[in-house]
Amino acid sequence: MAYEYGQMPLQGASAAGGGAPGQAQPDQPLSVSGAMALAKGALQSVTVRLVGEVSEVSDKPGYKAVYFTVKDQHASLPCMMWNNRYRAAGIRLAVGQLVELTGRFSLYEAKGRMNFDVFGVALAGEGDLRMQLANLSRKLESEGLMAAQRKRPLPKYPQVIGLVTSPRGDAVHDVLRTLRRRWPAARVVFAGVPVEGPGAPAALCEGMRCVVAAGAQVVLLVRGGGSFEDMLPFSDESVARMVAACPVPVVTGIGHEPDTCIADMVADVRASTPTQAAQFASPAPEELRALMESMAKGLVAGLSQAASRARLQLASVASRPLFTDPQALLAGQAMGLDQACDRLGRVLPRLTEGPRAALSFEASRLAAAGRALAGPPAQSLSHLRQRLLLSGEALAAPFEAQAALAASRLHDLSPLSAVARGFAVASTGDGSIVRSVDQVSVGQQLEVTLADGVLECAVSGKEKKELSWNR
C-alpha cells in the first residue's frame, strides 16, 4: 500500500476562505481542504475494534510510527501506530498474524489518504492463510515431496535453461543478465506468465510444461519481492505438485532472503533471489576457466606424449637396414638371380643334346632325299604332278558335296526364290522387312518387291488375323 511515512494528518485544518474548522458558510461551496476537514472530523469521531490478518509491516529506525496493513478476503486497510503505543503493547507484528486492533479512522488531507490510527493491538491467533499454508506444507511433507533424497542434482553444463516468471518484472532481467555473464553458451527458453492474482497458479504450471516441452534441462521458477499475498501463487498446491512432478530439476528463486514458499520446499534447489537461482543453474566462470585450463594441460600433455611416441617410432624405422643400406633391399633377389644364371648355364647344354641329334638325323635324311631327286627331272616331275592331282581330287571330293548341299539350302532360303514363286516382300523406307501388321501404321509408305520390280505403296488400312493355307 502507498502511504506517507513519518507524516500524520494535521488537526484542525481550516476551510479556505475563513470560518471555523470543519464548518462551511451557508451560501459558499467548500474548498478541498474544508471538505477534507469535514471528512476527517467525521472519521475521527468513530472508534472501532476490528480483526484482520497482517499482510505488510514497516518498522524502520527513525520513524515515529509503525506502518502496517491488515486484510481479510475482501478488503485491506492501511494502519499506523505510534511507537510509544506499539512498544507498550509488547507485540512484534509479523506478516500472517491475525490481530485485533482498536483505533479510529484518520485522514491525511495533503494526500487525501485514509488510514487507521491504532490505539491498541492484541494477537487473535495465527492467520487463516498462514494456517492453510502450514497445513498444506505438513500434508506435502507427509507425502515425501519435501524429502531430501528425492532432490535431484542440477546439470553441470545445461545447454537449454527454462525460465518461468513475469515478463514485466525485474526478475527476468536479473536472470538473463546473470546467465549471459556466467554461461552464454546456454539457450534460454522463456515462458512469460502472471506471477500473482487468481490465474497465476495455473499459468505457472502451464509455463513449466511449455519450457520442459521445449527441451529445458533445468527450470528456473522465479519472481521478485512482494507482499505475503503476492507470494501466495507459489504456495498453491497445484504449483507445488507441478514442481515435484517436473521431469527435470527445478530451481526456485522467489522474493528475497526471508521469503519462503511451499514451492521452495519441494523444489530441487531453493535460491534466496532470482539472481542466485541463475547462479545455481549455471557454472561459475572460475570453474569454467579452471576446467579449460585443465583440459588444455591434458591436451598439451597428450600431444607431447603422442609426438614422443611418433619420434621414437620414426627413429626405430629409420635405423632399419633397408634405409641405412639401400642395396640390402635387393641383395637376396640379386643372389637368387646369380644362382639361377649359374644353374641355367649348366642345364642348357644338356637340354640341347637331344634336339641336336634329331636335327642331325633329319639333315641326313634330307640329304638322301636330295640325292634321290637328283635323277631324271622330267620323269620325277610328271610322277609328282600325277600324285598331286590325285591327292587334290581326293581331298576336294568331300568339300564339293558339302558345298553343293549348302548352295541348295541357300537357294531354298533365298527371298528371291520366294519372290520368283509369286510371293512379295514388303519393307519400310529404311529397308526393314515387314513381318507383322503391328510394324506399320495407316498412311505409311512401303516398298513391295516382286519378281520383276518394286512397287511403292501406301497403307490404307490394316487388319490382324491368323492366316490358314488349307483352302
**How does pLDDT run across 289-328, given as a tens digit for each residue?**
888 888 888 899 899 899 999 999 888 888 877 677 767 6
Mean pLDDT of 253-274: 88
Determine the pLDDT at residue 220. 97
Beta strands in 187-245 (DSSP E): 187-192, 218-223
Q: Comparing 139-148, 222-231, 241-250, which segment has the lowest mean pLDDT?
A: 222-231
Could you tell me which residues are beta bridge partners of residue 68? 57, 79
CA distance 322 to 468: 88
pLDDT confidence tier of residue 385, bands split at 50, 70 and 90: confident
Would you kindly state where each structural domain of the chain is located, as residue ranges?
Answer: 32-126, 145-286, 417-458
CA distance 255 to 56: 14
pLDDT confidence tier of residue 338, bands split at 50, 70 and 90: confident
Buried b (16+ CB within 10 A) or exposed e, 157-189: ebebbbbbbbeebebbebbeebbeebbeebebb
Determine the pLDDT at residue 17. 39
CA distance 346 to 91: 132
Using DSSP's 3-state secondary structure scheme, residue 176 falls into helix
| Residues 414-449 pLDDT 10s | 777 777 777 888 888 787 888 888 888 888 888 888
CA distance 119 to 99: 13
Considering only residues 59 and 359, tell me which one the structure prediction assigns the higher pLDDT: 59
Q: What's the CATH superfamily of 32-126?
A: Nucleic acid-binding proteins (2.40.50.140)
Side chain identity at residue 453, one-letter code = G
pTM over 0.75: no
Q: What's the CATH superfamily of 145-286?
A: Response regulator (3.40.50.2300)
